[in-house]
């Protein structure tokens, strides 16, 4: 299919795991920042995050050695910035079209920074492309795909799907595909020819359960619960292209 491992320069965070040497300097500040770690003042304006990589920012009185070492080791995973801030110490990661997520403690520990970034290196509701496809499917999590007819509809669905993503964060990754660009791939891979459609897979490359009901967080969440509990009938999926509740047990699943 079209979406395969890109082999490109943008490596997901978890591909480069490893320990980072701790600072030997007395004040914990780095004096040799790499060129790709942009040094800014408080009044400088941060650029927007790139389309496929998050923006990662340290705010602190000095460039902390631990952050500099993490940035050096995991350089391809994001765009890295330091902002001199005499009053605050925090690390912030921001994805395109999403609010920033902030780490306020453990900043002077390499492994704590790595854990925070690794947990949040993928967006809540991300754009799945031939570059990012493997990043999603290489995780041991289910997938919730949304296929929408236009970029405007993607923007409209973002609050709903972000809500869904937050509810199922431990079990599913949630993303969207540009159906205007990848319509043929969507049809061949999932059998989806009309939009909007949501597809749920309980594991990467698992059976695609198609949902064509209301695009609301409670309704989509209920469908995900039903799929996980085995309440969506395979035969109905094959013949009609959408889920059918199999019995009264599904109605007992809470919608929250």
Output the pLDDT for position 237: 60
Domain borders along the chain are 13-120, 125-252
CA angle 178, 182, 186 (to 5 degrees): 100
Output the pLDDT for position 242: 47
Q: 238 pLDDT band (50/70/90 cuts)?
A: low
Output the pLDDT for position 245: 40
Instruction: Measure Cα distances from 190 to 52, 177, 206, 211, 245 in Å.
Output: 23, 12, 11, 12, 20
Q: Which of 104, 74, 77 is nearest to 92 (CA)?
A: 104
Q: 110 pLDDT band (50/70/90 cuts)?
A: confident
Output the pLDDT for position 250: 57
pLDDT greater than 80 at residue 27: no
Q: Would 13-120 and 125-252 be classified into the same CATH topology?
A: yes
Domain at 125-252, CATH class:
alpha beta
Domain at 13-120, CATH class:
alpha beta
Task: Kindly compute the dihedral angle of the four CA atoms of residues 135, 51, 115, 8, in this order, to the nearest 10 degrees.
Answer: 50
- pTM passes above 0.95: no
């Amino acid at each position: 299919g079209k979406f395969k491992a890109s082999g490109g320069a943008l490596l997901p965070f978890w591909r480069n795991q490893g320990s980072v040497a701790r600072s030997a300097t007395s004040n914990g500040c780095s004096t040799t920042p790499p060129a790709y770690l942009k040094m800014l003042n408080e009044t400088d304006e941060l650029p927007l995050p790139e389309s496929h990589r998050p923006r990662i920012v340290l705010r602190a009185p000095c460039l902390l050695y631990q952050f500099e070492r993490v940035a050096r080791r995991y350089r391809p995973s994001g765009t890295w910035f330091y902002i001199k801030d005499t009053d605050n110490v925090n690390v912030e990661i921001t994805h395109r079209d999403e609010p920033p997520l902030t780490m306020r403690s453990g900043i002077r520990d390499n492994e704590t920074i790595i854990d925070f970034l690794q947990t949040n290196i993928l967006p809540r509701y991300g754009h799945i492309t031939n570059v990012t496809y493997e990043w999603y499917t290489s995780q041991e999590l289910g997938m919730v795909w949304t296929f929408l007819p236009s970029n405007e509809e993607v923007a409209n669905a973002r609050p709903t799907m972000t809500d869904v993503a937050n509810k199922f964060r431990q079990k599913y990754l949630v993303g969207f595909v540009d159906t205007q660009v990848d319509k043929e791939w969507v049809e061949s891979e999932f059998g989806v020819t009309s939009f909007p459609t949501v597809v749920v897979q309980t594991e990467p490359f698992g059976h695609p359960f198609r949902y064509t009901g209301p695009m609301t967080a409670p309704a989509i969440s209920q469908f995900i619960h039903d799929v996980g509990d085995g309440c969506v009938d395979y035969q109905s999926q094959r013949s009609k292209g959408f889920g059918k509740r199999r019995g009264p047990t599904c109605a007992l699943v809470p919608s929250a």
